Amino acid sequence: MHPGLLLVNLGSPASPTTQDVKTYLQEFLSDPSVIEMPAALWQPLLRGIILPTRSWRSATFYQDSWLPAGSPLIVYSEKICEQVQADLPDWDVRLAMTYGQPDIGETLQAMVADGCEQPIVLPLFPQYTQSTHGGIHRQVEATGLPHTFIDHFYDNATYIQLLAAKVWESYQQHDFDAVIFSYHSIPTAMVRHGDPYQKECEATTAAVLAQLPELPADKVVTAYQSKFGPMPWLKPYLRNELMQLVELGKRNVLIATPSFVVDCLETLEEDYVQNYQTFKSSGGDRFELVPPMNTDPQFSQLLADLAVQKWEVRAHATT
């Protein structure tokens, strides 16, 4: 028997074609962890209106950001997995996706069959929220296999140091009027029902500021992006914040995206294209993003260290 680590990210369509994007969106938007509306009400709306109108549009976005090796989210996640495996040569380190392939349940079963004892499951989301972690928990628990979860790492000192270093390196490149920490939004109803995500996002921003005393706190804004559907989501919305900053004369902005550890549709298309266009058309000048962790070997080492620490704590608890 040997230790095992399953890294999990959100997932991606198999290709940037309309049909594959539709298949992916149907799985994603049918997850009750993401959409809390009763299925009897939601599914007719999803299948009759949302998928037919959204799939082809999303496919064009994926086509714009697609890499020769595939989806950026998949490509970078695979590289992270390879680096973590190199950091943990005695472990079995694998990657799975909440939606699409590789499948969580199938991958976990294969790991156990190959001799992994109670694999550790580590979602590649620093902050916990039902909308990302809920589907992972459900799929893992459906296997009935022993496992251990690491639910978040937003408060890990090394993670904060890495994030702060990236923010500071980008901030020093130009004279920015504002620094926006933009997190993926979630429905406000989830927060009212006890989801800790908003608190963890705000804590992430505060922890980074504590590491960067030379970054003026009055320049820093926490915002949320990627709203979907008509229901209220966490505010302020990034797009509205960008337009408001320009109105206030703040035309040079730097955006950090701490809830995205790798480049994906949200950073490459939503931010670099759509939000950039909104900002520029409103009269903004400089619009730059802090690069995500992507394939930074220090981030991969952090993930390896988190797994080892969890393994040691569990081993100590059972002796």
77-135 pLDDT, tens digit each = 999 999 999 999 999 999 999 999 999 999 999 999 999 989 999 999 999 999 999 99
148 - beta bridge partners? 120
Looking at residue 319, its pLDDT comes to: 63
The share of the chain scoring above pLDDT 70, in percent, equals 100
Tokens 């495996």: give the residue: 85
Overall pTM > 0.75: yes
Torsion of CA 16, 21, 23, 28, to 10 degrees: 130
Looking at residue 40, its pLDDT comes to: 86
Strands 120-123 and 148-149: parallel
Instruction: Give the phi and the psi of residue 247 in degrees, each rounded to 5.
Output: -60, -30
DSSP state of 49: I
C-beta atoms surrounding 295 within 10 Å = 16
Instruction: State the binding site for Fe(2+).
Output: 184, 266
Instruction: State the binding site.
Output: 184, 266
CA angle 96–305–198, rounded 5-degree value: 70
Burial class (CB in 10 A: 0-12, 13-18, 19+), 289: buried
What is the architecture of the domain spanning 4-154+296-317? 3-Layer(aba) Sandwich (3.40)
Bigger pLDDT: 84 or 318? 84
C-beta atoms surrounding 144 within 10 Å = 9
In sequence order, which residues have a C-beta less than 8 Å from that of residue 85 and are 6 or more positions away? 91, 93
Contact 96, 7 (CB under 8 A): yes
Instruction: Give the phi and the psi of residue 222 in degrees, each rounded to 5.
Output: -105, 125
Handedness of CA 35, 41, 43, 46 (dihedral sign): negative
Amino acid at residue number 58: S
Q: Which pairs with CB-CB distance under 8 Å and at least 24 residues apart come from 167-173?
A: 167/208, 167/212, 167/215, 167/254, 167/256, 167/290, 168/212, 168/215, 170/254, 170/256, 170/288, 170/289, 170/290, 170/291, 171/215, 171/254, 173/288
C-beta atoms surrounding 60 within 10 Å = 12
Residue range 157-289 forms a domain whose CATH class is alpha beta
- Report which of 123, 118, 154 is spatially closest to residue 314, judged by C-alpha positions: 118
Bigger pLDDT: 107 or 35? 107
Q: Across the chain, what does the average pLDDT equal? A: 95
**Does 318 score more than 80 pLDDT?**
no
Alpha helices, DSSP H, located in 149-235:
157-171, 188-192, 197-211
**CATH code 3.40.50.1400 region(s) in the chain:** 4-154+296-317, 157-289
Looking at residue 118, its pLDDT comes to: 92
Residues 94-130: b if buried by 16+ CB within 10 A, e if exposed: bbbbbbbebbbeebbeebbeeebeebbbbbbbbbbbb
**Does 315 score more than 90 pLDDT?**
no
pLDDT tens digits along 155-202: 999 999 999 999 999 999 999 999 999 999 999 999 999 999 999 999
Q: What is the CA radius of gyration of the chain?
A: 20
CA–CA dist 230, 104 (Å, integer): 30
Torsion of CA 260, 67, 6, 128, to 10 degrees: 10
Looking at residue 211, its pLDDT comes to: 97
DSSP state of 219: G
